[in-house]
Structure 1
Amino acid sequence: MSIRTICVYGAGALGGAFATKIAHALSDEVQVSVIARGAQLAAIRENGLSVVYDGENHPSLSARVTATDDPSTLPPQDLVITGMKGHQLSAAAEGISSLCNDKTRVMMILNGVPWWYFHADKESRFAGQQLPELDPDGRLWALVDPRRVIGCVAYQGAEVIEPGRTKLNGKGRFFLGEPDGTLSDDLNALAGLLGRSDLDIRPTARIRDEIWAKLRGNAAFNPISALTRSLMVDMMASPELAQMVRKIMNEVQAVGTALGCQFQSSADEQFASAHGFGPVRTSMLQDLLAGKALEIVPLNGMVSALGKLAGVPTPTCDTILALTKQLDVENRR
């Protein structure tokens, strides 16, 4: 895989950070462009992108990139990195497709269950099954094509503090994997390139394990934080909320296990480690306060849906899902 052109489709907090780091480190060998809109697009065009770190002795970074809201104005890319949330992707399918040629790979940074989840899956009995909850009319499957995808699970706190400027909570780490589980040449080439951009990249042959390991926390903390407007430290300080977090983690682990996921730690161990979280504001709480649509289906809806598919009950997740969906409706109203 030769990577000379990279487009970050959705240059929000994490997408903007990726574009900044790649362009800053590799400007001599890679041409970076971004798809953005509104105030973010205007700021990037005027001042470029920048990254600052929260509480770390790490220099800030800045970079100039090509920025547009119309992907059809860009040529086909060697690599497309999506920084959009799962509920935003279907509407972007045509735009992402316009950036692809026969060899383009699409690295998708997603929380929760991705639309391509069962493509080339060897661990469950549902290989090849599509997920209409995430891809309602099959546009992603048809236009983007799951064979292009390299999955990415990101452990990186990020927030846009002003247009064009992202604050990162630590350096973070990023798991990359092919849906078919191979440690392919493309995967290794991509990991090597991104690793030279101050990104902690960890290739894996079991990307679905990483999806469920992160989802176990996200499915609990994100919706509860939105429903209560609580920081993570405050949720864990409340015995009632902490107990609900534990129940959701256990349900998520049960569904993931039924689909062939192998967890490296138990739900109880993850719950215990959560007591060390500080005053972190989850991405769903950030979206709620900004009046944006909430990332409900990939994080919570799919736990319930895949639980039904696998025959695993998820009563706490089902209740949280109903409450969060109505919260989203009323918040946007």
Structure 2
Amino acid sequence: MPFENICIFGAGALGGTIAAKLAASGNVDATISVVARGAHLDAIRRSGISLFEAGADKPLLANVTATNDPTELPPQDLIITGLKGHQLAPAAEGLAHLLKPSTRVVMILNGIPWWYFHRDESNHAELQFEELDPGGKLWRLIGPERVIGCVAIQGAEVSDPGQIRLSNKGRFILGEPSGDISADLREIEALLNRAEISVTLSERIRDDIWSKLMGNASFNPISALTRSRMSDLMADGATSDQIGKVMKEVKAVGEALGANVGISVEERLEQASQVGPIKTSMLQDLLAGKPLEITPLVGMIVALGRLTAVPTPVSETILALVSQLDRENCRTA
């Protein structure tokens, strides 16, 4: 697969990281474009992307073609989306404009993705959820058969327009919904490796989704509700106890759907205690006055709990509270 044109659709913290590394690499012979918006777009157009890797004093500087209108770009060989789950459906038409018959779409997503049950081996194969894909626009215009799932193990924040800071040396887990280690997957892995982006291929990407979701479904909403960083959440015994209860619910729902989460709640909490004073993505969005990514992270735990008859009482409470927080935050922003 020749990658002549690569578009990063949603060049925020994670998408911008990949765009910068691809564009700055001398080993990637491709035109790199980004779709962004607002002050971030203006800064990228003016000065490119400044990427501060963990511990670095000086940024990696990368110039890319930047637009807020995907119709200005030609069809792409590869699209990598950095949009959050609730931002995808409104972007469906723009993404569809960039497709040609062979285009694959790598979707970096937290939580349960809209394509989750495509080629799934459970009794729920091809099940679609209106709350993840209103009107089925993504399923119809993009198609789950194009998607390569991506789980990001990378702390990142847009610290200023056009400027991204990484908190760790992360990696990205890629997997086909079918579980195949396909030729496309291998070629995308090689492309990203050439840009010094660490990649792991997975034959069971849903397991990786649930493993990360144990943290996302607990830390993200609780950090937003309390306006606390990770280290502060873990330092308070009562709060960390509630986090553990959410993790147990998430793990139970995932296992009821056939996932092998592969990590205990105790191990996951121990990992979190080592993270430090990091702002979760939901806390970042709350403080910026942006809509919160609630449905893929929390709402789907409740919905899939009902589907599998697994009780999720703590998640239901958090869903109600963080939904009200989101409404108030958007109203006053």
- TM-score, normalization: structure 2? 0.97
Q: Is the 8 A contact 1:17 1:50 kept in 2?
A: no
SS of equivalent to 1:154: strand
1:199 maps to a residue whose letter is I
Q: Give the whole-Å Cα distance in 2 for the aligned partners of 1:209 and 1:200.
A: 19
Correspondent of 1:190 among 169, 173, 188: 188
Correspondent of 1:296 among 285, 294, 316: 294
Give the drift of 1:58: 7.4
Q: Is the 8 A contact 1:236 1:242 kept in 2?
A: yes
SS of equivalent to 2:50: strand
- Please tell me the root mean square deviation across aligned C-alpha atoms, in Å: 1.1
Please name the residue that 1:38 is paired with: 38
Give the drift of 1:273: 2.4
SS of equivalent to 2:169: strand
Gaps of 5+ in 2: none
Q: Is the 8 A contact 1:6 1:32 kept in 2?
A: yes
Percent identity of paired positions between Structure 1 and Structure 2: 56
**Alignment of 1:170 onto 2:171:** no
Please name the residue that 2:201 is paired with: 203
Correspondent of 1:159 among 157, 179, 184: 157
Q: Give the whole-Å Cα distance in 1 for the aligned partners of 2:218 and 2:289.
A: 21
Q: Is the 8 A contact 2:286 2:292 kept in 1?
A: yes
Q: Give the whole-Å Cα distance in 1 for the aligned partners of 2:153 and 2:217.
A: 15
Residues 19-58 of structure 1 show CA distances to partners (whole Å, capped at 9, x for unaligned) of 000011147611100001111111111111110124x257
Give the drift of 1:11: 0.8
Please name the residue that 2:117 is paired with: 118
Please name the residue that 2:75 is paired with: 76
Q: Is the 8 A contact 2:28 2:194 kept in 1?
A: no
Please name the residue that 2:271 is paired with: 273
**Alignment of 1:20 onto 2:28:** no
Please name the residue that 1:332 is paired with: 330
Please name the residue that 1:129 is paired with: 127
Give the drift of 1:60: 2.5
Q: Give the whole-Å Cα distance in 1 for the aligned partners of 2:13 and 2:328.
A: 25
Please name the residue that 1:96 is paired with: 95
CA gap 1:311/1:28 in 2 versus in 1, 3 angstroms: closer
Aligned residues: 331
**Alignment of 1:7 onto 2:10:** no
SS of equivalent to 1:95: helix
CA gap 1:242/1:36 in 2 versus in 1, 3 angstroms: same
Q: Is the 8 A contact 1:171 1:199 kept in 2?
A: no
Gaps of 5+ in 1: none
Q: Is the 8 A contact 2:89 2:133 kept in 1?
A: yes
1:78 maps to a residue whose letter is D
- TM-score, normalization: structure 1? 0.97
2:185 maps to a residue whose letter is L
Q: Give the whole-Å Cα distance in 1 for the aligned partners of 2:325 and 2:155.
A: 24
Correspondent of 2:251 among 243, 250, 253: 253
